[in-house]
Amino acid sequence: MDHKKEIAVRLSKITGLSEEETFKLLEIPPQLDMGDFAFPCFVLAKTLRKAPPMIAADIAADESLKDSVFEAKNVGPYVNFFIDRSHLASQTIKDVLSSGDGYSSSDEGSGKNVIVEFSSPNIAKPFHVGHAFTTILGNSLSRIYKKLGYNVIRMNHLGDYGTQFGKLITAFRLWGDEDKLNEDPITELLRIYVKFHEEEKNDPSLTESARENFKKLEDGCPEEVALWKRFRDMSLVVFEKLYKRLHVEFDNYNGESFYSDKIPAVVDMLREKGLLTESQGAQVVMLDEYDLPPCIILKSDGTTIYASRDIAAVLYRKETYNFDKNIYVVGIPQALHFRQVFSVLKKAGYECADNCEHVGFGLVKFKNMKFSTRDGNIVLLEDLLNEAVAKTREVIVENAKTRGTDMTEEEIDDIAEKVGIGAVIYTYVKSGRERDIVFSWEEMLDFEGDTAPYLIYTYARTRSILRKAAENGIDYSTDKEKASLLTSEEEYALIKSIADFPGSVNKAAASNEPFMISRQISLIARNFNRFYNNSRIINLEDEDLKKARLLLCEAVCDIISEGLDLLGIDVVERM
């Protein structure tokens, strides 16, 4: 039974509000002694012409809200609902343990297409920690939407087009080194790109040559296209290695180049609708009524730009996927760009512009961390991952020594890779995405803190309890009703936080904020550890309560791994 829904159904019969609205209004009270759900009565004050506390008292007195499972009490302007602890425990545990594709899975999104555009690095440029932000957020959002039954299309809008490729072609012909390119393509491409900018200051003919080369590329000249394609393919090999490590996959890599031949149609459409204006030789769409600067569609030399490709992309996506939602996981600095793109479409009469959303995120900073960076100031994701894994490995080896566990080198490597990468991913998704992130080794690898290592460790330790139960021949799985014995303060707090987990997944999707999930599993892990530190499990004499607690342990494992999986983090069975 979905308790929140049941309360909404009963309430709506009394208040006359719709079930949906009632459902949305129901809150989770800040303290356990205030019940499981609270209904604020403010919205009814106007129609009923009564003070909210009086309304709350009337509602709470209604017998139809109460039975052996539900209790209702008014406190000030709220009606607080209490669910019988035994009932909540057995119901929750049963639901968690019997849900095949996850306790939080639902059919909310059935029949709906969501495009999640994320990662979208620029070809021939290093993949730095900022790209990791969009990659990790987007990966998590795709998983979240999928869990809720949406049909998700994961798109990587590669920055594989634009004037910079004219520069790279010119630079490569002048200074490119074949061997270095094959060895470490991105470093070599970056080297000649930087050199181009230095030399260009004193040699305007370079600028001209780059412009010509880009024009040739747009016109499909074979040599320029071949060179560009080589740079693109080589860069993708490097990016895909990182994606593999992060378990990130895409349905397509339709980058900027993919849309270049779709732009003439966009230009025609805008011209037909009378929206194109000439400004200093360029073709622009004025956006004064949206309080935005004009959006350039074609430059004075007739070449396309970033924005025109994005406009073409929205139209292509609408036609191909008929999306219900089209989200862009891109840094906050591009907010203006997206407002312009969506506004041009809106002005041209495309309603789908309302279903496009820019999901922005903050900056990445480092506290007391030194990297042997290969490229000046930017920190490469690969370096961050490698350091994190190496540091995690040290801790794992140390812990194993103290506890006397013997693990093979291979096992240690595997655990270090999963936990180390998990620690990095978690740092990106543990706070609201618009906040800047500050990396520090002490914080991200703190096995007691709000970190992936803490969560994975909680999981692994709980697994070991279950293994021990199996070794001792305890079969707890057959009688799930036993879970109704879990009514102590600590058990109740833990079960309640588990029962609230699906809601956190819904909220994460509604706000495109994976941290709603990380926060919830972190709470569950903390509640579990409080319970675990004060309760015996395996060596308990009461056989029924022992089984009930083992059921609870299994539910905790399921939820932690489900939650971490939604964030893109692996668990390990022991560490």
Binding site for ligand ARG (CB under 6 A): 117, 120-122, 157, 159, 310, 328, 330
Q: Annotated catalytic, 482?
A: no
- Exposed/middle/buried for residue 280 (C-beta within 10 Å: 0-12, 13-18, 19+): exposed
Closer residue to ligand ARG, CB minimum distance, 82 or 316: 316
Helix 501-511 with 515-534: angle, nearest 10 deg: 160
Position of minimal CB gap to ligand ARG = 159
Residues constituting the chain: 575
Closer residue to ligand ARG, CB minimum distance, 309 or 496: 309
Give the DSSP letter string of 312-375: HHHHHHHHHH--SEEEEE--GGGHHHHHHHHHHHHHTT-GGGGGEEEE----EEESS-----SS
**Least distance to ligand ARG, CB of residue 159, Å:** 3
**Structure tokens belonging to residue 186:** 């991105």
Q: CB–CB of 406/266 below 8 Å?
A: no
**Least distance to ligand ARG, CB of residue 460, Å:** 37
CB atoms within 10 A of CB 6: 14
Closer residue to ligand ARG, CB minimum distance, 218 or 310: 310
CB atoms within 10 A of CB 539: 8
Closer residue to ligand ARG, CB minimum distance, 262 or 526: 262
Question: Among 131, 147, 430, 546, which one carries the catalytic annotation?
Answer: 131
Residues paired with residue 18 on neighbouring β-strands, in sequence order:
none
**Least distance to ligand ARG, CB of residue 475, Å:** 53
CB atoms within 10 A of CB 130: 18
Tell the residue number behind the tokens 């994005």, with chain if given: 310
**Least distance to ligand ARG, CB of residue 47, Å:** 46
Closer residue to ligand ARG, CB minimum distance, 193 or 441: 193
**Least distance to ligand ARG, CB of residue 189, Å:** 15
The span from the CA of 43 to the CA of 29, in Å, is 18
**Structure tokens belonging to residue 514:** 């994976």
Q: Annotated catalytic, 94?
A: no
**Least distance to ligand ARG, CB of residue 130, Å:** 8
**Least distance to ligand ARG, CB of residue 196, Å:** 19
**Least distance to ligand ARG, CB of residue 358, Å:** 9
For 513, which DSSP code? -
Closer residue to ligand ARG, CB minimum distance, 257 or 522: 257
Residues paired with residue 70 on neighbouring β-strands, in sequence order:
83
Question: Among 50, 73, 112, 125, which one carries the catalytic annotation?
Answer: 125
Tell the residue number behind the tokens 């799930």, with chain if given: 480
Distance of CA 543 to the CA centre of its chain: 42
Q: CB–CB of 165/173 below 8 Å?
A: no
Closer residue to ligand ARG, CB minimum distance, 80 or 340: 340
Q: Annotated catalytic, 131?
A: yes
The span from the CA of 91 to the CA of 103, in Å, is 12
Q: Using alpha carbons only, how large is the chain's radius of gyration in Å?
A: 28
Closer residue to ligand ARG, CB minimum distance, 39 or 328: 328
402-432 burial, b for 16+ CB within 10 Å, e for fewer?
eeeeeeeeebbeebbbbbbbbbbbbbbbbbe
Question: Among 3, 4, 128, 318, which one carries the catalytic annotation?
Answer: 128
Catalytic positions, written as ranges: 125, 128, 131
